[in-house]
């Protein structure tokens, strides 16, 4: 089995008993992988992107246990150490581990997005969150205009929420 599949299994174990967390990261991973493929990102960036999408919310369970809440800032604060531990256990490279840790520490920060992996992770997370949170059409439109930058992400968002291309 490949490293990404092993990472998914490890995250399922980490989030055991929390099916909504597992469902969420599986969906974010699939959208991230699809957008990355559509955008033709290099294979090194794809591994980072996929790993980050799988572990991006690893701080939720920890934050809930420590603070009784799990807002974005707490997730960014608590998640990186756990993500690093998991990636090291599965022999991901130091470069991948460091970048994934950075992405986990910033995935709720939408300013100064530095890199296609970061942009796609944010877009994939929004695709899932906008649906899971039953966001209004206005919120979807604002997200499209203020957050999305990749053509693939914009197309997926538009098709998902309007059914036709170029209508946001």
**Cβ distance 27 to 123 under 8 Å?**
no
User: What are the residue ranges in the chain where pLDDT is below 70?
Assistant: 165-168
For 86-116, the pLDDT digits (tens) are 999 999 999 999 999 999 999 999 999 999 9
Residue 33 lies in domain: 3-162
- Residue 141 maps to a domain: yes
**What CATH code is carried by the domain that includes residue 72?**
1.10.3210.10
Longest dimension (CA), the chain: 45
- Residue 121 maps to a domain: yes
Report d(CA 164, CA 168) in Å as an integer. 9
Say how many domains are in the chain.
1
User: Which phi and psi angles does 47 have, rounded to 5°?
Assistant: -65, -45
pTM of the shown model = 0.95
- Residue 168 maps to a domain: no
| 13, 47, 48, 52, 125 from 43: Cα distances, Å | 27, 6, 9, 14, 21
- Residue 167 maps to a domain: no
- Residue 85 maps to a domain: yes
């Amino acid at each position: 089995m490949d490293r990404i599949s092993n990472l998914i299994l490890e995250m399922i174990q980490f989030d055991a008993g929390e099916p909504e967390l597992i469902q969420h990261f599986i969906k974010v991973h699939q959208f991230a992988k699809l957008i990355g493929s559509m955008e033709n990102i290099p294979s090194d960036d794809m591994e980072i992107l996929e790993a980050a999408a799988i572990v991006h919310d690893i701080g939720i369970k920890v934050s809930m246990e420590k603070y009784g809440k799990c807002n974005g800032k707490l997730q960014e604060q608590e998640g990186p150490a756990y993500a690093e531990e998991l990636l090291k256990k599965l022999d991901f490279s130091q470069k991948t581990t460091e970048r994934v840790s950075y992405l986990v520490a910033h995935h709720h920060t939408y300013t100064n997005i530095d890199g296609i992996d970061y942009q796609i992770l944010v877009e994939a997370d929004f695709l899932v969150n906008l649906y899971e949170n039953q966001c209004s059409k206005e919120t979807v439109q604002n997200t499209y205009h203020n957050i999305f930058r990749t053509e693939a992400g914009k197309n997926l968002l538009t098709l998902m929420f309007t059914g036709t291309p170029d209508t946001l």
